[in-house]
Chains A and B, each alone.
Chain A
Amino acid sequence: MAAVVVPPPPAPRRRTPSTWVRRGGLTTLLFLLPLLLVFGVFSWAPIAQSVVMSFQQTNLVGPVRFVGLDNFAQVLGDPLLWTAVGNTLWFAVLALVFGYPIPLVAAVLISEVRARRGLFSALAYLPVVVPPVVAVLLWKFFYDASPSGVFNTVLGWAGLGPWQWLQNPGSAMPALVLEATWAAAGGTVIIYLAALAGVPAEQYEAAEIDGAGIWRKIWHVTLPRLRGVLLVTFILQIIGTAQVFLEPFLFTGGGPANSTMTVLLLIYDYAFASSLGGDYGAATALSIMLAAVLAVLSALYLRVTKSWSAS
């Protein structure tokens, strides 16, 4: 931000509209106009409106009424909310168990490849560029419950199965997480690879002089150097999994027996699933509550990245 391009002209006695225009104030404002219009109408106004709407009863048709905290009370009293919160947490935990260590291990291994490293990272990243809807619909077919389903065929080779992947309340969520992990891991691998490239070779050399082998170097040099980025991907993953929507929406629609109903799916259902007109108050109240939780995580994220880029 240090680049001051125009040396400030001698300050005039009074700023009049005409001196403002002559010194380019109007041009500057015109350059900012697209941002102000687009953000104003499609970001700032809706954010403000969202807060207001959470205290209102409204559905496009009837008159708008202020109802105080009724929407919040209604949402918090909905037994489905606690199912959805539980499921979302379960999704987050499973996603951490599956999805957190795999990219790290893959990235450390890829960073030590000497020939054709580009091929390795491109292969790891490929699932990320597959459109998510295509990926989910493809995996839905892979999860086919019949003995000749793709995954069940593979299980059959090992004498296992057939499993009811998506139809069983116990296995539906892990199945969703497996697909989500496949779809997202490549992005995390790339982030780790960038961080690994920044570990100074001298630190490894210093560790070797102290007699450290490969495992000790990983433990005492690599992992400490990655601490910051590991925390960042951790928080980003939590923020991401708290907003999981596509997988439960397309794989299971929240079923079987609400076992994959997530918070975002519930918001969608409140607002858009009913043909009678949405309960927009409840939907915004729940999204405000979710946003508050995520804001705490985002603030944490900012603190971490700040101290991390400062060091």
Chain B
Amino acid sequence: MKRGLISPSERATPAIRRTLRMVQGLLLGALLLTGLGPMLWLAKAAVTPTQDTLRTPLSLFPTGVDLTNLLTAWTRVEIDKYFLNTVVIAAGSWLVQLVVATTAGYALAILRPRYGRLVTAVVLGTLFVPAIVLLVPLYLTVVRAGMINTFWAVWLPAGASAFNVVLVQRFFANLPREVLEAARVDGAGPVRVFWSVVLPLSRPILGVVSVFAVVASWKDFLWPLLVLPDPAVQPLSVRLPALQRYVELDVFLAALAISSVIPVALFLVFQRLFLQSGALEGAVKG
């Protein structure tokens, strides 16, 4: 195994080994408390009656478990509907982002038209414009296009992600060109090369873009709040703060727990992908 800061001989020193073990134990404790603690508390509170959570928030089920919270949240508070909206919004944003990033990446990195550099430059330029500048004019665009209260108002603007285009373009540019050349010699046209050669070779980067797309969509709050004023089409993130005002506490906490399940589950399943893309974010995002 590759060594780090502390050398093998230092690790063998009893004093250092003891200190290291203690520090790492404390670190694990702190990480469990801050990383896992709030989530575990939320999971507990989701199945605890309101009065218990209010009086003794840190005791474990003083008067037993109340599983009906979850059911009430799912059915009577219609979390099922907002959950479905969230999934549909995330799926659409994901698809639009993938279509835009892959087609553009293919055109710019492999077909390479003369005006490609100009397009790349103008796309890159938007990385320097903070999202807030877009907020008002984008809102007015959506209003004028009559897209208010439709999912298109969220799906289409999500596609305008320069970050995705840059990532995919860079990946495509590094694909082995012998393979593309061979496909072309075999008589494959640009569309077929794109669909049957480039896309299958690009699974890793498509995975990264997909994780970014779904997570960002699940997290988004301000934009859907503005363009989806009708509760019937709102995602969870927009609906939860409003629910807080008229739903009982235990049911509300159950709703919060349900809203976290999918992102946390996705993270546990695709941990490696998340941690990789997280590191990538620091290297590319501006």
Cβ of A49 and Cβ of B137 under 8 Å apart?
Answer: yes
Does A76 have its Cβ within 8 Å of any Cβ on chain B? no
Q: Specify which chain A residues have a CB less than 8 angstroms from the CB of B141 in the assembled complex.
A: 41-42, 45-46, 49
Interface band, chain B: 35 or more
**A128 → chain B, closest Cβ, in Å?**
7
Name B3's contact: one of A53, A138, A201, A288 (CB within 8 Å). Answer: A201
Cβ of A191 and Cβ of B278 under 8 Å apart?
Answer: yes
Q: Specify which chain B residues have a CB less than 8 angstroms from the CB of A280 in the assembled complex.
A: 136, 140
Q: Mark A205-237, 1 if CB is under 8 A from B, else 0.
A: 100100000100110011000000100110010
Q: Specify which chain A residues have a CB less than 8 angstroms from the CB of B278 in the assembled complex.
A: 125, 128, 186-187, 190-191
Cβ of A217 and Cβ of B5 under 8 Å apart?
Answer: yes
Name A1's contact: one of B129, B134, B139, B173 (CB within 8 Å). Answer: B173
Q: Specify which chain A residues have a CB less than 8 angstroms from the CB of B237 in the assembled complex.
A: 131-134
Prevailing SS type, chain A contact patch: helix
Name B159's contact: one of A34, A193, A250 (CB within 8 Å). Answer: A34
| Binding stretch for chain B, among A77-85, A90-98, A106-114, A158-166 | A106-114
Name B5's contact: one of A3, A24, A111, A186 (CB within 8 Å). Answer: A111
Q: Specify which chain B residues have a CB less than 8 angstroms from the CB of A114 in the assembled complex.
A: 1
Does B174 have its Cβ within 8 Å of any Cβ on chain A? yes
Cβ of B137 and Cβ of A196 under 8 Å apart?
Answer: no
Cβ of A204 and Cβ of B174 under 8 Å apart?
Answer: no
Cβ of A123 and Cβ of B266 under 8 Å apart?
Answer: no
Q: Are A50 and B104 CB-contacts (below 8 A) given A5-B181, A137-B241, A302-B286?
A: no
Would you list which residues of chain B between 268 and 286 have a CB under 8 Å from chain A? 271, 274-275, 278-279, 281-283, 285-286
Q: Specify which chain B residues have a CB less than 8 angstroms from the CB of A1 in the assembled complex.
A: 173
Q: Specify which chain A residues have a CB less than 8 angstroms from the CB of B56 in the assembled complex.
A: 148, 153
Please give the residue numbers on chain B whose beta carbons come within 8 Å of chain A beta carbons, in ascending order: 1-7, 10, 16, 20, 23-24, 27-28, 31-32, 34-36, 38-39, 41-42, 54-58, 96, 99-100, 103-104, 106-113, 119, 122-123, 126-141, 143, 156-157, 159-160, 162, 165, 173-175, 177, 180-181, 189-191, 194, 215, 218-219, 221-222, 226, 236-238, 240-241, 244, 249, 253, 256, 259-260, 263-264, 266-267, 271, 274-275, 278-279, 281-283, 285-286
